[in-house]
C-alpha cells in the first residue's frame, strides 16, 4: 500500500524547496530512498526526489517539482493497515505544510490518495466552510422543521376545536422558545468547532 499527497504552490523554486526541506529533514533523503520500494533505481533514482525523511514504520519522499505542484510519496512498513497509512499521510502532510508556512510559501488545493491494490481512496481537507455546511446539514431539520411543525400542529388543533386560543398561544410561545434555544445551541457548537477544529489541517479519507 502506498499513499500520495499533492499541494499546489504559489511560489515554486526548486532550489529553495530542496534547501528548506533538507534543512528540516537533516538530509535523510538517502536513508528514506534506500528503504523505499524505489530503491533498486530502475524506475526512480534518488535524483528524482528533492527531499525525504524516514521514521519508525514509514517514510516520505518528495518528488522534484511538477510544474507548480509538490507531490509527496508515502510508504508504510505495514502493508495492509489503512489506519497506519492515513496517520502517516497526515503526519507528513502536517510537517510539509508547517515547513512551507515557516518559509512563507503559500500553498493551496491539497489532496491525498491511498492506493490499496487497484482501488484509490480520496482524502480531502475539511475547510471551515465545509465544516459549517456539514453542521447545518446535520441540524437544519431540527432548526427549521420542529418549530414549523409545532405551530402547524397547534393551528390544526385549534381549527378542529381540540385546543382553545390560550393553549394555542402557549404552544406558539413554546415553539419560539425552543427555536431560540436550538439556534443558541448551534451557535455554541459552531464557535467550538471554529475554535478547536478549524485549524486542524488533516485529510479526511472517504473509506
Binding site for another protein (CB under 8 A): 2-4, 37-38, 42-44, 48, 63, 66-67, 71, 73, 111-113, 115, 117-122, 124, 206
Q: CB of 112: closest distance to another protein in angstroms?
A: 8
> Which C-beta is closer to another protein: that of 119 or that of 160?
119
Q: CB of 67: closest distance to another protein in angstroms?
A: 8
Backbone angles phi, psi at 66, to 5 degrees: -110, 95
Q: CB of 72: closest distance to another protein in angstroms?
A: 10
What's the CA angle centered on 170, arms 167 and 174, to 5 degrees?
A: 140
With beta carbons less than 8 A apart as the criterion, state whether 116 and 124 touch.
no
Q: CB of 193: closest distance to another protein in angstroms?
A: 24
Backbone angles phi, psi at 9, to 5 degrees: -110, 145
> Which C-beta is closer to another protein: that of 33 or that of 163?
33
Q: CB of 18: closest distance to another protein in angstroms?
A: 16
> Which C-beta is closer to another protein: that of 41 or that of 185?
41
Backbone angles phi, psi at 13, to 5 degrees: -125, 115
> Which C-beta is closer to another protein: that of 53 or that of 179?
53
Residue 50: half-sphere exposure toward Cβ, Cα within 13 Å = 21
With beta carbons less than 8 A apart as the criterion, state whether 70 and 49 touch.
no
Q: CB of 123: closest distance to another protein in angstroms?
A: 8
d(CA 191, CA 117): 41
Number of H helices, E strands in the chain: 6, 7
d(CA 4, CA 111): 8
> Which C-beta is closer to another protein: that of 12 or that of 155?
12
> Which C-beta is closer to another protein: that of 66 or that of 187?
66
Amino acid at each position: 500500500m502506498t499513499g500520495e499527497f499533492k499541494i499546489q504552490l504559489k511560489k515554486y523554486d526548486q532550489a529553495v524547496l530542496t534547501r528548506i526541506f533538507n534543512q528540516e529533514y537533516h538530509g535523510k533523503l538517502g536513508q528514506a530512498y534506500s528503504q523505499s520500494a524505489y530503491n533498486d533505481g530502475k524506475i526512480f533514482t534518488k535524483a528524482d526526489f528533492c527531499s525525504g525523511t524516514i521514521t519508525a514504520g514509514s517514510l516520505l519522499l518528495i518528488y522534484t517539482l511538477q510544474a507548480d505542484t509538490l507531490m509527496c510519496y508515502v510508504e508504510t512498513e505495514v502493508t495492509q493497515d489503512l489506519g497506519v497509512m492515513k496517520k502517516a499521510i497526515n503526519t507528513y502532510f502536517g510537517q510539509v505544510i508547517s515547513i512551507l508556512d515557516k518559509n512563507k510559501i503559500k500553498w493551496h488545493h491539497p489532496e491525498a490518495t491511498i492506493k490499496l491494490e487497484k482501488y484509490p481512496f480520496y482524502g480531502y481537507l475539511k475547510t471551515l466552510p465545509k465544516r459549517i455546511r456539514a453542521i447545518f446539514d446535520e441540524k437544519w431539520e431540527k432548526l427549521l422543521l420542529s418549530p414549523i411543525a409545532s405551530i402547524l400542529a397547534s393551528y390544526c388543533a385549534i381549527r378542529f376545536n381540540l385546543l382553545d386560543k390560550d393553549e394555542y398561544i402557549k404552544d406558539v410561545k413554546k415553539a419560539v422558545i425552543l427555536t431560540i434555544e436550538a439556534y443558541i445551541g448551534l451557535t455554541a457548537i459552531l464557535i467550538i468547532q471554529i475554535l478547536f477544529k478549524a485549524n486542524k489541517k488533516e485529510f479526511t479519507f472517504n473509506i
